[in-house]
Amino acid sequence: MEAVKGACAAGLGYGALPRCAAQLELHAGLIRELDGFRGSLGGPVWICQPSGEHRSPEARTFARFLQQHTELVRVFLTLN
């Protein structure tokens, strides 16, 4: 989990983390919740992204995919 949080905070991508494991980084402003996923996955998992606004076109495309396929993401996270 630490590697996922660090990579996300460094701007390397997105992560799926337990909410309780990411509270410090969230409150420090290092990561933020991906728009559209606040509480939508259910349970303790959420999708985080770097706190900065600058994202590559590929990252924005991936974020749109996650937002458009919330149910698929929920099923995937449940199976893993």
Amino acid at 44: P
* pLDDT tens track for 48-66: 777 766 777 877 788 788 7
* Cα(43)–Cα(39) distance, integer angstroms: 8
Retrieve residue 22's tokens.
Answer: 């990411």
* Cα(9)–Cα(29) distance, integer angstroms: 9
pLDDT exceeds 60 at position 2: yes
* pLDDT tens track for 9-44: 888 878 877 777 888 988 998 888 877 666 555 555
CA atoms within 13 A on the CB side of 42: 9
First to last CA, the chain: 14
Which run of H or E residues covers position 75? helix 70-79
